Amino acid sequence: MLLAFAIVGVQAEQLTTKAPKALLYEPASGTVLFAKDADVPFAPGALVKVMTAATVFKALSDGELTQDQLCTVSEHAWRTGGAPSGRGATMFAAIKSEISVEDLLKGLLVHNGNDSAIILAECLDGSETAFADRMNALAAEIGMANSNFGNPTGYEEAVSTTTVRDQVRLGEYLVEEHTERYSMFAIPEFTWNNIFQRNKNPLLGEIRNLDGLGGGAHSEDGYSGLGSIDRNGRRIIAAVAGLTSDNHRLAALKEIFEGTWEFYAVKTVFTAGETVAEGRVFGGVDGTVPLISEADIDVFLPRGGTLEYRLRVVYLGPLVAPIAAGTPAGELQVIGQDGVVHRAPLVTGASVPEGGLVGKALDSVQELLFGWIG
């Protein structure tokens, strides 16, 4: 059943960006503030390493690894991702040495080390290919519906694809599910093998309050970035892709992050317990039941107006009596120009006892002749 509410069409200034692909998200309210080609795939390059970190974090949480567990540096990891490779960032891990998982994660997240990524993959699954399978399983589990990862480094010989929507979902997963380890993304520097290196995240220190996550570049798909900031107690996550340089990537992320506070504010659409809609009931003493939210429905919306946002209630109906108050019954969707920007669960706001045989018969006749209209 769909119950659509009127469109509100007050004009307001809009956030814009030159980034070909972008998504801005506020996780506390679950609001998509801005979206632009958010589901168009791109190759992430070294941004893959954020997914590599998430995969290792999950293995640590699941007890498959421990932080002090030692991993051996294979010749493959050393030659392919280390100093001999000449392929960019490395933690300078020595061949055949043993390094703890914790230090390898620092090498991955601070040094952006290709060797770190390969060593962790081999330590957990024996090969990059097997680890990539694990990455893809986690991506599917957390709702990254349009991503596929070919290796833990982002090297272009193995195809990896993702979207800015999936990257923002990954950022949300890291912030919410790995809160303690998330702080590793903001470690300012790390010394390994007597070599001092500052954090290589090109966004860190350039955007106020940013504490993660990473950037990447691809020969054809350009520069991409995933950032997360915590400002005034509110977390915002954003991703951009398709930029022509690291400076353009930084400018695009700055633009949309700062636009959050310039163009948007929290608005309470419905208060806790307020009736959002009436749901139809089959076989009950009452023909309808109020659908409510158990908490205030707060949504980030434009300050100067609502830019043709509309509200829609979706529920599987009719609801069959008897119905207890507080039964999950559907959701409220806030829909903007780019689709659903916010979802809030709804429950029944009252109990509806089962009706008599006559009432059930009349409900059956109505359903047969007319169907159920929400």
Question: Is residue 102 in a domain?
Answer: yes
Question: Is residue 14 in a domain?
Answer: no
93 against 31, higher pLDDT: 93
Question: Is residue 148 in a domain?
Answer: yes
Domain of 296? 2-8+268-370
Residue 13 Cα distances to 245, 259, 297, angstroms: 28, 11, 23
Query: Is the per-residue pLDDT at 3 higher than 50?
Result: yes
Please tell me whether residues 178 and 84 are part of one structural domain. Answer: yes
Nearest one of 72, 47, 18, 247 to 151, comparing CA atoms: 47
Query: Is the per-residue pLDDT at 374 higher than 70?
Result: no
Mean pLDDT of the chain: 87
Query: Is the per-residue pLDDT at 71 higher than 80?
Result: yes
pLDDT on residue 144: 96
How far apart, in whole angstroms, are the C-alpha atoms of residue 224 and residue 239?
Answer: 7
Please tell me whether residues 123 and 229 are part of one structural domain. Answer: yes
Q: Given CA atoms 148, 154, 156, 162 in this order, what sign does their dihedral have? A: positive
Please tell me whether residues 187 and 157 are part of one structural domain. Answer: yes
Pick from 240, 263, 286: which residue ends a domain?
Answer: 263
Query: Is the per-residue pLDDT at 358 higher than 60?
Result: no
Question: Is residue 13 in a domain?
Answer: no
Residues with Cβ within 8 Å of residue 252, at least 6 apart in sequence: 17, 18, 19, 22, 225, 240, 243
Please tell me whether residues 256 and 185 are part of one structural domain. Answer: yes
Pick from 218, 248, 263: which residue ends a domain?
Answer: 263
190-228 confidence digits (pLDDT tens) = 999 999 999 999 899 899 999 989 999 999 999 999 999
How far apart, in whole angstroms, are the C-alpha atoms of residue 150 and residue 338?
Answer: 30
The angle, 0 to 180 degrees and rounded to 10, between the axes of the packed helices 128-141 and 114-125 is 90
Residue 276 sits in a domain whose CATH number is: 2.60.410.10
Q: Please, what is the end-to-end C-alpha distance for the chain in angstroms?
A: 6
- Amino acid identity, residue 47? L
Q: Are 212 and 185 in contact (CB under 8 A)?
A: yes
Please tell me whether residues 357 and 254 are part of one structural domain. Answer: no
Please tell me whether residues 240 and 309 are part of one structural domain. Answer: no
Please tell me whether residues 256 and 285 are part of one structural domain. Answer: no
86-126 confidence digits (pLDDT tens) = 888 999 999 999 999 999 999 999 999 999 999 999 999 99
Number of domains in the chain: 2
Please tell me whether residues 41 and 105 are part of one structural domain. Answer: yes
- pTM score, two decimals? 0.77
Query: Is the per-residue pLDDT at 34 higher than 70?
Result: yes
Nearest one of 72, 53, 75, 277 to 183, comparing CA atoms: 53
Angle at 310 between CA 308 and CA 311, to 5 degrees: 165
Question: Is residue 16 in a domain?
Answer: no
Across-strand partners of 197? 190
Residue 109 sits in a domain whose CATH number is: 3.40.710.10
Nearest one of 124, 96, 229 to 108, comparing CA atoms: 124
Please tell me whether residues 243 and 121 are part of one structural domain. Answer: yes
Mean pLDDT of 233-239: 91
The angle, 0 to 180 degrees and rounded to 10, between the axes of the packed helices 114-125 and 101-109 is 140
- For residue 249, the surrounding DSSP H or E stretch is helix 246-263
How far apart, in whole angstroms, are the C-alpha atoms of residue 48 and residue 156?
Answer: 11
Mean pLDDT of 25-38: 87
Q: Given CA atoms 280, 5, 314, 343 in this order, what sign does their dihedral have? A: negative
Confidence category of residue 303, pLDDT binned at 50, 70, 90: confident
Question: Is residue 15 in a domain?
Answer: no
Please tell me whether residues 223 and 171 are part of one structural domain. Answer: yes
What is the DSSP secondary-structure string of 291-334?
EE-SS-EEEEEETT--TTBEEEEE--SSEESSB-TT-EEEEEEE
Please tell me whether residues 172 and 115 are part of one structural domain. Answer: yes
Please tell me whether residues 138 and 200 are part of one structural domain. Answer: yes
Q: Are 209 and 230 in contact (CB under 8 A)?
A: yes
Mean pLDDT of 6-30: 74
Pick from 263, 279, 305: which residue ends a domain?
Answer: 263
